[in-house]
Every structure is written in structure tokens, then in C-alpha cells.
Amino acid sequence: MTGPTTDAPAVTAAALALGDDALVLSHRLGEWAGHAPVLEEEVALANIALDLLGQARILLSRVGDEDELAYLREERAFRNLQLVEQPGGDFAHTIARQLYFSTYQAFLYAELARTEGPFTALATKAVKEVDYHRDHAEQWTLRLGDGTVESHTRMQRAVDALWRYTGEMFQPIDGLTATHGTDWAALQASWDESIGETLRGATLTLPETPRSGAWTAGAGRQGLHTEPFGRMLAEMQHLHRSHPGASW
């Protein structure tokens, strides 16, 4: 991988935030391997995990050594959204998490690709991947929401449960605001409209519960995470940390 660039600190912090989102979500999706509800979905989920891992590697390499960053940072040093670290739960939770995140990523990366700045090249490539992830999530949201009584119940439960992690997505990342001029209010408006439409199409109800509070607003981006994340990192980092200095 290429070495870190001499980005301004705010840009480095932005790369870390976006990179950690992709890294952590790809890890969560990788947990489905061998457990997916149907074989075709094994292939689909792995594709998305691989796209995200690819994005993570590019972004982290911009900041430093990708493996040092992934395997040797403590929990508090990760800058990912709390949303992406939430455990997979049932397939409905995974799809709800994908729907919320990929819609966010799709709008954000489209904006980054359209504007001139440090993330234009990355976003231009990634936006094609992300559009597909979003489509995958929307297709499944429709089928689970408007499928059977059981699937509807499960999907509504998942959409509700993860709603409280969605407010954090629109807390400005300064490095993006300063360089790409990202309009976070506009991003949220687009996201709200798109999610509202998808949920309505899927006969699901848009949650009305709070989507940010003292605890969740911007917490992941500031290094404050949820309980499952520490356990996830323990598993992810264990082998690498057991052999200091080794190459793999």
C-alpha cells in the first residue's frame, strides 16, 4: 500500500472516520459467512463486505499503516459510527443497518465525487459500489417489509431498533466540510426523504423516536462506542496482537 500522504489533520481525521466506518461494517458483514439465509445471499453479502474492506484499506493507508491502524488501536481511537458496529442480529437487523448506512454513504460519496477535494478520486470509484449496496438493501427492505407477517414484524423491529443510531451520521466531519464544502443539513434531508420513501414502499412505519441524544450524538465519531464493539475488536485484533512485529 502507498504510504500516508501529508494531509492536514482535519483531512486525516475525516479519512479515519470514513475508513473506520467501512472497516467495521465489512467486519460485521463477514460474520455472515456460512450463516446466510440462502446461498445466493452468501455471495451478495461477501461482495459488499469486500467492497467496504477495499474502501477501508485505501482510506486507512492514507492515514498510516493499514494493519497498525486496524489491529493496534484501542477502542477509543476508532472513529466509526455506532451504527456500523452494532451486531448483525437477524437478517432484518443486518438489512436495516445496510439500508441506513448505504443510503448515507451513497449521498455523501456522490457529493464528495461531485466536488473537488481530497476525497474526489476515492468517492468516484466507491460511489458505484455503494449505489449497489444501497440497491441491495432497498430490495430486501421491500421484500421483508412487504413479505409475510413475520418478516414485516421483524423488519419493523429492526428499523426501530437502529433508528437511535442514525442521528450521528449527520454530525459534521470537519475535514469534509472544510475541503469539499459538505452540506450536512442537505445530506440529512436527502437521507430522510429516501429512507421515508423506501420504508413507505415496504409498508413500514418511519420511526418517530429520538435519533440522537446526549449519548449517541456524535459519540462514535469521538471515540465513544457501544458494548458490543469492544468484544468485536477483541476478536478481530487478538491474533495480530499475539505476534508483535510478525508479518502475515
Partner 1 sequence: MTESTDWPLWEVFVRSRRGLSHTHAGSLHAPDAEMALRNGRDLYTRRNEGVSLWVVPSAAITASSPDEKDSFFEPAGDKPYRHPTFYDIPEGVKHL
Partner 2 sequence: MTSVTAQDRTTAFDAAVAADERIEPRDWMPDAYRATLVRQIAQHAHSEIIGMQPEANWISRAPSLRRKAILIAKVQDEAGHGLYLYGAAETLGTGRDELLDKLHSGRQKYSSIFNYPTLTWADVGAIGWLVDGAAITNQVPLCRCSYGPYARAMVRICKEESFHQRQGYESLLTLSRGTPAQHEMAQDAVNRWWWPSLMMFGPPDDESAHSAQSMAWKIKRHSNDELRQRFVDICVPQAETLGLTLPDPELKWNEDRRHYDFGPIDWQEFHEVLKGNGPCNEQRITQRRRAHDEGAWVREAAAAYAAKHDTARQTAQTAQTAQTGQATQTGQGTQAEQAARAEQSRQAGQPGQAVQAGLTSRPAQTTAAGEATA
Q: What minimum distance in Å lies between the beta carbon of 169 and partner 2?
A: 24
- Which residues 81-140 are close enough to bind partner 2 by CB under 8 A? 90-91
Give the C-alpha separation, 195 to 145, whole Å: 13
The answer to the question of residue 56 lying near partner 2 (CB under 8 A) is: yes
Question: Measuring CA to CA, how many Å separate 5 from each of 8, 57, 61, 118, 180?
Answer: 9, 14, 9, 10, 18
CB closer to partner 1, 43 vs 77: 43
Question: Measuring CA to CA, how many Å separate 184 from each of 15, 44, 56, 187?
Answer: 17, 30, 22, 5
Site string for partner 2, 149-168 (x = CB under 8 A): -xx--x--------------
CB closer to partner 1, 143 vs 152: 143
Give the C-alpha separation, 13 to 164, whole Å: 24
CB closer to partner 1, 135 vs 193: 135
Give the C-alpha separation, 212 to 117, whole Å: 29
| Binding footprint of partner 2 on the chain (CB under 8 A) | 23, 27, 30-31, 33-43, 46-47, 49-50, 53-54, 56-57, 60, 66-67, 70-71, 90-91, 142-144, 146-148, 150-151, 154, 235-236, 238-240, 243, 245-248
